[in-house]
């Protein structure tokens, strides 16, 4: 089954404790990205990746890091989480430039993070 | 900066009713527009994608239209069912976005279809 998976689905942590949220897709997609969703602000892109070893900042990258060492995985790293990073996080993937006109984005189920 | 607005924020209808959800965007220089459905505890599911050169797309009971010049899109749901209850989001991709898949989302319309 084609899907985007995220782990963990729920996480409670404390300020300053490094954490990683994993994201994996099995569709051989080139593009992957991370969004956060907050009430009143909607979904905002954090980082995206065009392909392996190619990443770039989205609209709200501060406080986050990403890496793309393999095509299928795109982990989101919070080096020193703060309470304002409490949010619902989504990973998404889509096909590459050759398929740009059919680039429906596929989303993971979300990770709900609470930083105390 | 692109802004996407969805009206209404919430809508409650009886089963069987036809309904229209609205999406407007401030910058008409878009590449495409997508409608998504979001269910609690689940991710977003893409419903329809309309290219900037297209006027509408249909999938089953769903029909999405796009008027790029006026910055508007509508999602029409025919013969609504309780299973259609969800939050519906629209998102646009800017025309200049050649290196990524950045989308700007609206805040969504929360739809409840009552049996």
pLDDT of B71 strictly over 60: yes
Q: Which residue has the higher pLDDT, A46 or A1?
A: A46
Q: Which residue has the higher pLDDT, A101 or A25?
A: A25
Residues A93 and A78 sit within 8 Å (Cβ to Cβ): no
Q: Name every chain B residue with its beta carbon within 8 A of the beta carbon of A33.
A: 100-102
How far apart (Å, rounded) are the C-alpha atoms in residues B56 and A13?
Answer: 45
Q: Name every chain A residue with its beta carbon within 8 A of the beta carbon of B106.
A: 42
Q: Mean of the per-residue pLDDT values for chain A?
A: 91
Number of alpha carbons in the 13 Å side-chain half-sphere of residue A74: 33
Could you give phi then psi for residue A90, rounded to 5 degrees? -125, 135
How far apart (Å, rounded) are the C-alpha atoms in residues A109 and B47?
Answer: 16
> What is the distance in angstroms between the Cα of A106 and the nearest Cα belonging to chain B?
7
The mean-pLDDT minimum among A55-59, B9-13, B16-20, B79-83 falls in A55-59
> What is the distance in angstroms between the Cα of B94 and the nearest Cα belonging to chain A?
13
Residues B105 and B4 sit within 8 Å (Cβ to Cβ): yes
> What is the distance in angstroms between the Cα of B113 and the nearest Cα belonging to chain A?
22
Q: Name every chain A residue with its beta carbon within 8 A of the beta carbon of B103.
A: 43, 45, 105
Q: Read off the pLDDT of residues B28-56 as tens digits, 9 standing for 90 and up.
A: 988 889 999 999 878 899 999 998 889 99
């Amino acid at each position: 089954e084609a899907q985007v998976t995220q782990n963990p689905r729920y996480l409670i942590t404390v300020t300053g404790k490094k954490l990683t949220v994993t994201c994996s897709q099995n569709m051989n997609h080139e593009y992957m990205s991370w969004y956060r969703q907050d009430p009143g602000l909607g979904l905002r892109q954090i980082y995206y990746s065009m392909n392996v070893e190619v990443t770039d900042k989205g609209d709200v990258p501060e406080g986050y890091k990403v890496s793309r060492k393999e095509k299928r995985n795109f982990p989101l790293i919070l080096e020193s989480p703060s309470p304002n990073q409490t949010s619902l996080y989504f990973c998404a993937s889509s096909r590459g430039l050759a398929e740009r006109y059919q680039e429906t984005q596929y989303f993971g189920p979300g990770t709900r993070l609470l930083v105390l | 900066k692109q802004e996407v607005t969805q009206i209404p924020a919430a809508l409650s209808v009886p089963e069987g009713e036809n309904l229209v959800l609205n999406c407007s965007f401030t910058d008409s220089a878009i590449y495409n527009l997508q409608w998504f459905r979001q269910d609690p505890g689940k991710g977003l599911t893409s419903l329809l994608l309309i290219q900037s050169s297209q006027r509408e797309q249909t999938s089953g009971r769903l029909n999405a239209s796009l008027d790029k010049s006026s910055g508007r899109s509508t999602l029409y749901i025919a013969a609504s069912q309780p299973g259609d209850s969800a939050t519906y989001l629209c998102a646009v991709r800017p025309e200049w976005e050649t290196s990524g898949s950045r989308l700007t989302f609206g805040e969504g319309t929360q739809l409840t279809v009552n049996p």
